[in-house]
Amino acid sequence: MKRAISLQKWLDKTLNDGDVSEIEYSYENRQEVGRGAFGVVYSALYDGKKFALKSFTDGVMNKETTDGINKEATDGMNKEATKGFIKEFKNLHAINSHPINSHPNINKFYGITRDPETNKFMLVLQFANGGNLRQYLKKKWNN
């Protein structure tokens, strides 16, 4: 039987192993640039440079609600979103850990941070100006 792991414990282990950096939250001028079923993407400045911060829906990345993926207080969507976060996190980490990780169509993954106001974890990514994939495809195929 596969045991559910607490998201908090999983992140703590990943950070302690040194595989991923936890970045102190020192971002300014945070502005929402996109929203999806599982989260929100913001642009924000750090030391004059623009980054993307990807936050996840309430109950997914909030420390108070992640004692375990099977916690009764989380509904099915939150369980799926939590699993989705872990999958995305692992994929980004694997891609960016590869010796050839400088492909122009893959956003750089820098680490994670925690919003001090909401206590939510956020992925810290390279900011890609130009919209999301859906917008790109719509523009490309409508012309």
Can you say which residues are annotated as belonging to the binding site? 54
Using DSSP's 3-state secondary structure scheme, residue 11 falls into helix
Q: Where is the binding site for ATP, in residues? A: 54
Angle at Cα 74 formed by Cα 70 and Cα 77, nearest 5°?
Answer: 100
Using DSSP's 3-state secondary structure scheme, residue 140 falls into helix
List, edge to edge, every strand of the sheet that includes 49-56. Answer: 28-35, 39-46, 49-56, 121-126, 109-114
